[in-house]
Structure 1
Amino acid sequence: MPRPTPEAVSTPAPHAPRFRDASGLKNMEQLIQLRWIAVIGQIVTIEVVHYGLQIRLPLGAMFAILGCLVAFNIASLLRWRTGRAITNGELFVALLVDVAMLSAQLYLSGGTTNPFVFLYLLQVILGAVLLEAWSSATLVVVTSLCFAGLALFSRPLDLPLDHDRGLASPYVQGMLVCFALNAALLLIFVTRINGNLRERDARLAGLRQRAAEEEHIVRMGLLASGAAHELGTPLATLAVILGDWRRMPEFTAHPELLQEIGEMQTQLQRCKTIVSGVLLSAGEARGESSVETTVGTFLDDLTQEWRDTRPVTSFVYDNRFGHDLPMVSDSTVKQMICNVLDNALEASPYWVRMEIDRDDDQLQITVTDRGPGFATSMLAELGKPYRSSKGRPGGGLGLFLVVNVARTLGGSVAAHNRSEGGAVVRVSLPLSAVVLEEEPDDDER
């Protein structure tokens, strides 16, 4: 089976029946990574300050706080691996724990005289990006109170007041490291978090678009069902009139007229069948019309009926489905496949090919034509309503219905142009959506 070319466009099948916002999980993952970086950074800083700069620090207490931070991060990692959605409250608590751990370390290492006190700004900015308004405002208040508490109760670092030495001053060096650390972490993690939020917004926009399309389908279905009901009476009247004409002497004496009346009755019967199919698709009389069959028989019968009712010159049908499976004849699936075939026939009146294949648990229906192919803009908007290259009002609804029916069944539709001319449309449907589950035998129960 040919694979799509690079210009192929497909409509993906939904992976889950309900939307799950994964941005919270991704943001929690960013916080966990940031916390590991903080642990490593604190270990390096404590060692450099205590042993390198000979500034005495309470190593036991500071490493105990680091151990608590590591334990909390492991607990956060286990929570993240559950895959459940992360709430605003959980992110808020996580940032509060980070603020508390930072405050404890600063209290033991100089309080507000420690140049790393400006790491509070990192927590505030992360809260502004991640949290709801009330949570981020609360975080500002908490960090401000922590800063004030450090100024009141902590013991200053034993550092010389040599700011005039520039980069030779240990305090200025600490401020430079703190600034570079803040800037680098904000650049990396805020960029990632904004990317997560953009992905969430894109998913929400896609869901809104899908809801609008499904509402459009409902309106079309109601309109088609109403029109089918209205057409029932005039079609029945025409059937009675044509039946009377067949028995009138004025027509029985002219075989040519009788033949034309017969053709009119055939086309009228086809119109009544189409109307019945519309009502069936709308859910009316489904119990009476649904017939148990097999996948192969259903597709063979559908293909034969389509071939007999369309002016197709050359139609190639290749059914390679293999082991047949039971299914219920579904007019919606039938109409979907016929729409694909009708579009191909309109683009290529002299040659159409349909291939049926099975790919694991997927039913693959591939329709190929030798027409002009899809315009690039059409491929980019495959399945959008009223996107048609035919230039007539109301065009483009055929593929729109095909894409939405396939998506409703959990399948997908892909289209691409052939290098030798023409187009290929491939419909993939999960077998679980179309086949009947076989009941176990009495011996197996």
Structure 2
Amino acid sequence: MSTQTTGSLLPPETGAPQVRLGTLVNLRWLAILGQSVTVLTGSLLLDLQFELGLCAMVIGAAAVANLMTEAMRPANTRLSDRAAFGFLLFDLIQLSALLFLTGGLHNPFAMLFLAPVTISATALSLRSTLTLGAIGAALITLLGGYYLPLRLSDGRLLELSQLQLVGFWLAILISMIFLAGFAYRLTLETERTSNALLATQTALAREQKLHDLGGVIAATAHELGTPLATIKLVSSELAEELSERPDLLEDVLLIRSQADRCRDILRSMGRAGKTDHHMRTALFETLVREAAEPHIGRGIIVTCDWAAADGSDERMPSLQRRPEVIHGLRNLIQNAVDFAQSQIWIDGRWSADEIMVRIIDDGPGYPPEMLHRLGDPFVRSRRRNGYEGMGLGLFIAKTLLERTGATLSFANGRKPGQRRPSVRSGAIAEVVWPRASLAVPKIGGLGENTPLFP
């Protein structure tokens, strides 16, 4: 079951546009403001000697580009990966031009090269980020040797020693790689988790709707049973009395047959349960079999075993029929069926303190290097036996079951390097609940049914 939990999230560039134009425009205005204040402070207060006019032109070019962008597109426009890359590339080149006029790599504000690359890592594709980073590294390297010198008021050059210059260059490159890598990875993990949580909420909402719908149908069938029986009884009596009136007898028989049809329809629809205790609770075995039912008959033998733990005579408990439990167990069973070769085993155990479900298959098992990450959303994709699994299924199962108080653990039936045994050699998923969190207290009877229509 090597790929049972594996999967991959599509990179940002393959999905919807990630970057809002207004965000980049506002960041550029902030950069323009900072550049203007810094240039004016250096010229007027610190009396540094540099090409103030050319610097004003470079800053003005960025301002004009921003104004044109705002005039051409609304601020809420979502930029494609290529358009956002071009936007950030312009900022990188504009910053390089400004640094060229103010001392190049000797200018401490060269650290601002980190900004466009880090922004790219949080919003653009990996390819765009790597390209922008490579361009930034090339530009910062060129600025180490090609620039207009920055002079103090007495004419002295404001320059770093050769050793300091190389150290500053290395610091910028290392910081660029580290920050961009961290930002990209953090953004990717956040997006993966958000997508997985959305899928979990969708699955739970669907299961809850089915649960509620089954209860309404069952209650309707229960409440309509008496009037339908009355209709059938009266129609039968009328049929006997109208035996000599064939014209009316035919209509009465039609009424009786339609009443039977309504009864059969409601009976089939009401099998999902009722809104009383029958609907809200079920025996441990019944609940697990309900979760496994969609995957029985898929060509895999499903063997169930039920017993009290430690050989005690504790009776099988009744559990709350919660959608989270049914859907979570169903995902685990589906995962086992998908990767089993011919058979899976579902073991149910209970004691005075705990309730446990263990799902085992005879497949290849979990990849040992992934055991510590099982249950995380979208583990990196691996393919085996022609099947590419996705970590979303186990993430949903783990999330839903843990909401009910369960603890999940995963293992393999076969140790690394061990010769494969004949049975129960694949993946093992074990779910354990404290009995108090799921079991229904022992009470006398099921209580009264609540009428649907008072």
User: What is the TM-score normalised by the length of structure 1?
Assistant: 0.38
User: In proportion to residue count, which structure has more helix?
Assistant: 1
User: What is the TM-score normalised by the length of structure 2?
Assistant: 0.38
